[in-house]
Structure 1
Amino acid sequence: MGNNYKMVAKTLFGFEDLLERELLNLGAINVKKGVRSVYFEGDKGFMYKANLCLRTALKILKPIKSFRVFNEKDLYKKVYNMDWGAYLTPQNTFAVNASVNSEIFKHSHYIALKVKDAVVDGFREKQDIRPSIDLKHPDLRINIHIQDKECSVSLDSSGASLHHRGYRMATNLAPISEVLAAGIILMSGWDGQSDFYDPMCGSGTLAIEAAMIACNIPANINRREFGFEKWKDFDAELFDKITESCLNKTREFYHKIYASDQSASTLLKAKNNAKNANLSEYITFDRKDFFNSDKPTEEKLHIVFNPPYDERLDIDITTFYKSIGDTLKQNYSNTDAWFITGNIEALKHVGLRPSKKIKLFNGKLESRLVKYAIYEGSKKAKYNN
């Protein structure tokens, strides 16, 4: 137990509960929710597992030092005095990113530059040679977080954000992020125990994430690399062992996942992305217009989709959202239908009463995730939760 240390998993607004549950299910200890973050403890192997398996995490940070800071000079001195040789060599590249919420420190970019200077000057002073900066593809990413006067210095074990799953080569205009897609599906309560349908599938992200959830495939199995793979203490053998043990927990899926779009070129991208994720056999892609469609199965159906917003396409929003409601009502009995929209006004035109409405953000855009329960043999949506 002595090898456990504190870590922080970053997430999107509204996903803290989901991420907490994911971490507990994976075996994290001392799990505690923050805002857009969840704190937890585990060992090195668990850090590898968290990066590999968490669906709703954007980053896994490993705090290495925290101290109080009173001004920029103080910050510089305290970072300068840290033993950076434990994490970096002069031949390595690094990048610093900072977030500040403080009366004293106002500019995160300036703080990042100060920290970079402190690290570089320390090396130059002691070894007469310094590591270089590489903002795009560094060997080490340093994360600085200042809350009032409390400064936390962390190493970013993920590297590029974990929403870069590695399977999505082709996207369309304003695609939904993989982490947002996975979180929405988990929030909708789908667990692979019924058929799933995305009727406006775009580049296929929702259907692919649904297949990974259904089969319990590690979320980031298709990524080319993680930040920790370049760390001095990286244990390749341990990482392989963890990967193998996670892959051994995959399961069979006995239902169907359907995805459709009315654009042939869009559908081709979605099919290619599913192929990259090795999930083609689980997803049935079909070119069709949702508004002239029938339910693809007689069974209970779970629909999750991301309809276009007015910023993205030249459509009449009132008619479009009214058509969504009419189509669900007329052709999709015995269905739980969920969708996310950044056009909150437009929801009034659906003509059905949502049984759930959850505030989320799609990028910077405040959005709503809504659920409409359409039940058997009735033209009305269920009014209960």
Structure 2
Amino acid sequence: MENFKMIAKTFFGFEEILAKELQQLGAQEVQQGVRMVSFVGDKGFMYKANLGLRTALKILKPINSFRAYNEQTLYKGIQAIDWSEYINANQSFVVDVTLHSEQFNHSQFVALKTKDAIVDQFRDRYGKRPDVDKDYPDLRVNLHIFNDQCSVALDSSGNSLNQRGYRTATNIAPINEVLAAGMLLLSGWDGQGDFLDPMCGSGTILAEAAMIACNIPPNLNRKEFAFEKWNDWDNDLFDAVTDSLLKRVREFHYTIKGYDKAPSAVMKAKDNIKNANLDEYVTITQEDFFRTEKETRGPLHIVFNPPYGERLEIDLERFYREIGDTLKQGYPGTNAWFITANLEALKFVGLRPSRKIKLFNGKLETRFVKYEMYEGSKKDKYLKEEDL
């Protein structure tokens, strides 16, 4: 099978960990960009990337690029591609557009022009044309215009890869699965210890933590990928790639626990964990984090997504102060990470973060912060280190 260039799209701040994921999977010529990483592989690797990457949102296969200064040059550039290689007149397609351009500023207009160029080519050649289907297309065309540079790619994923397939029940403000996985990888979570999400909501962070710990492919539960409708779809190759990834699954010998004080959230989280076939690894109980303390003796890794005050009404000052007090008094020997879009609220935690990473949760700018809770005082820790 021949190799070709691909692009994995991701969130801001995840480019480095996505590049590392690609290298670990076996990608060639890995190069980081902004919210994307390019790489080279064959068709089997395209299947593997869709199944196995935790921090990718989409895998695109570029097929052409050209300069477009106006609607006429856009139309000609699209018509220069032989679309019969990718679709026939009886099939359907849709065009997704991303614009960063002064020449073009209306994505729907660009999508319409692109659609016209494709259907006109079929009508001229065959006397009939493929339909546009926004919901279940046979081919998803991705168009990216930066200034006058137009890049055309086929979307091999379809729905965004954060739609893993295990989450059927959600609460008010669920966290995106790719964001959860990226936070866990940034935090250094590798499954070599005990884990806690003390405000687990619908259980997304717990599910992603368990899949990382056991090296389970994140998109194993997905119902379909866009490439399954492509003309060169190879079911046997896909099964072989899936089997090769499943052989890399490893055992997990620690605990993964989730707390939430809302009974409805606990039920939803349990349902989602069961849907993901992860209930043997994850325990979820109804607890108010502010009334708990550390249950394990060894190191504990905490990652959570507390309310920001955006969609859930809370007394932010009191709430974030209680986070700091609970960690300080009840959780020695813990690395605690959480994400928040409320940068003012961080001041109330009363602890100094050892790391602050800028991320985005949707359009909200956030900080992903780390607090190191030592056994005893920080001063004691340094004295012990000096004795070594």
Aligned pairs (5 A) from 1:126-165: 126-165=125-164
Write out the 4+ residue segments of structure 1 that deviate beyond 6 Å after TM superposition: 379-383
The equivalent of 1:27 in structure 2 is: 26
Do the aligned partners of 1:90 and 1:130 also contact (CA within 8 Å) in 2? Answer: yes
Change (3 A) 1:380 1:283: farther
Q: Contact 1:373 / 1:381 at 8 angstroms: preserved in 2?
A: no
Matched, 1:204 2:203: yes
Find the residue that maps to 1:185 and give its secondary structure.
Answer: helix
- Equivalent residue letter for 2:169: A
3-state SS of paired residue (2:233)? coil
Per the alignment, residue 216 of structure 1 pairs with 215
Aligned pair 1:228/2:234, yes or no? no
Normalized against structure 1, the TM-score is what? 0.97
Q: Distance in 1 between matches of 2:198 and 2:228?
A: 38
Q: CA deviation at 1:103?
A: 2.1
Asked if structure 2 preserves the Cα contact closer than 8 Å seen for 1:49 and 1:243, the reply is yes
Match runs of 1:1-385 below 5 Å: 3-378=2-377
| 1:381 Cα offset (Å) | 12
Contact conserved, 1:372 with 1:381, CA < 8 A, in 2? Answer: no
What residue identity is the alignment partner of 1:226?
A: F
Which one-letter code corresponds to 1:258 in the other structure?
K
Q: What secondary structure is seen at the aligned counterpart in 1 of 2:72?
A: helix
Answer yes or no: is the 8 Å Cα contact 1:330–1:379 preserved in 2.
no
Q: Assess if the C-alpha contact under 8 Å between 1:203 and 1:270 holds in 2.
A: yes
1:99–1:108 Cα contact (<8 Å) kept: yes
Structure 1: 5+ residue runs without aligned partners?
A: none
Q: Aligned partners of 1:174 and 1:311: how far apart in 2? A: 9
Distance across 2 between alignment mates of 1:112 and 1:192: 44
Say how many residue pairs are matched. 382
User: Aligned equivalents of 1:379 and 1:305: distance in 2?
Assistant: 23
Aligned AA for 1:159? G
1:214-262 Cα offsets, whole Å, 9 max, x none, are 0000010000000100000001000000000100110000110000100
Structure 2 residue runs without a partner (length 5+): 383-388
- Mean CA deviation greater in 91-100 or 352-361: 91-100
**How far apart are residue 112 of structure 1 and its match?**
1.1
Shift of 1:296: 2.5
Letter in 1 for 2:35: R
* CA offsets 1:72-104 (integer angstroms, 9 cap, x no match): 111112212321111111221111011121221
- Change over 3 Å in CA distance of 1:261–1:381 after alignment to 2: farther
For 2:73 and 2:190, locate their aligned partners in 1 and report how far apart those are by CA, in whole Å. Answer: 50
**Which amino acid is 1:99 matched to?**
T
- Distance, in Å, in 1 between the alignment partners of 2:26 and 2:99 is 31
RMSD (Å), alpha carbons = 1.4
Query: 1:379: Cα distance to partner?
Result: 8.1
Q: Whole-Å Cα distance in 2 between the matches of residues 337 and 120 of structure 1? A: 54
- SS of match in other structure, 1:285: strand
Please say if residues 6 and 41 of structure 1, whose CA atoms lie closer than 8 Å, have aligned partners that are also in contact.
yes
TM-score where L is the length of structure 2: 0.96
Go from structure 1 to structure 2 and tell me whether the alpha carbon gap of 1:122 and 1:382 turns closer, same or farther (over 3 Å shift).
farther
